[in-house]
Amino acid sequence: MAQFSFAFPKPGTKKLLVGATLGAALAIPALLAGLLVFLVPMVNKPLLDAFIREKLGHVPATWVGTQWVYAAALFLAGIAMFTFAAITGGIFSWYERRVAARIQSRIGPNRVGVAGFLQWIADAVKLLFKEDLVPGEADAMLFRAAPYFVVAGMTLVLVALPAGQAIVVADLDVGIFYILAVTSFIVVGILLSGWSSNSKWSLFGAIRATAQVVSYEVPAGLAILVPVLMAGTLSTQGLIRAQGGWPWEWFFFRNPAAAVAFFILFISQLAEGNRTPFDLAEAESELVAGYFSEYSGFRFALYFLVEWANLWIIGAVATTLFLGGWQIPGVSAQTWASVRGAGSFPAFGWWALQFVSLGIFAVKTLFLVNVVIWIRWTLPRIRIDQMMNLCWKYLVPAGFAAMLFTLVWQMVATWAPIVEKITALVVFAATVWVTWRFLQQTRKNVSLIAHERVDLSNW
Cis bond upstream, residue 277 (ω within 30): yes
CA-to-CA distance for 235 and 228, rounded, in angstroms?
9
Decide: helix, strand or coil at residue 343: coil
Per-residue mark of binding to another protein, 380-399 (x: CB under 8 A):
xxxxxxx-------------
Residue 38 binds another protein, judged by CB under 8 A? no
Q: Contact 303/281 with Cβ under 8 angstroms? A: no
310 binds another protein (CB under 8 A): no
Distance separating the N- and C-terminal Cα atoms of the chain: 15
Amino acid identity, position 127: L
The correct pick among 37, 124, 191, 239 for binding another protein (CB under 8 A) is 191
**Contacting another protein (CB under 8 A), which of 81, 124, 192, 223?**
192
**Rounded (10°) angle between helices 66-103 and 297-322:** 90
Per CB under 8 A, the list member of 148, 286, 297, 355 interacting with another protein is 286
Cβ atoms of residues 101 and 108 within 8 Å: yes
Q: How many CA atoms lie within 13 A of 200 on its CB side?
A: 1
Least Cβ distance, residue 184 to another protein (angstroms): 3
- Rounded to whole angstroms, the Cα distance separating 233 from 224 reads 11
CB of 164 to another protein, least distance (A): 23
- Regarding 274 and contact with another protein (CB under 8 A), the answer is no
By the rule CB under 8 A, 154 interacts with another protein: no
Query: Is residue 448 within the footprint of another protein (CB under 8 A)?
Result: yes
Task: For residues 234 and 237, give the distance between their C-alpha atoms in angstroms, rounded to a whole number.
Answer: 9
Cβ 372 to another protein shortest distance, Å: 15
In angstroms, what is the C-alpha Rg of the chain?
A: 24
Do residues 315 and 368 make contact, with C-beta atoms less than 8 angstroms apart?
yes
Nearer Cβ to another protein, position 66 or 83?
66
- The contact mask relative to another protein for 207-236 (x = CB under 8 A, - = no) is xx-x---x--x---------------xx--
Helix (H) or strand (E) holding 429: helix 417-448
Site string for another protein, 132-151 (x = CB under 8 A): -------x--x---------
Among 227, 244, 277, 324, binds another protein (CB under 8 A): 277
CB of residue 233 to another protein, shortest distance in Å = 8
Strand, helix or coil for residue 377: coil
Q: Which residues bind another protein (CB under 8 A)?
A: 67-68, 70-71, 100, 103-106, 139, 142, 172-174, 177-178, 180-185, 187-188, 191-192, 194-195, 200-201, 203-204, 206-208, 210, 214, 217, 233-234, 276-277, 279-280, 283-286, 288, 377-386, 445, 448-451, 454, 456, 459
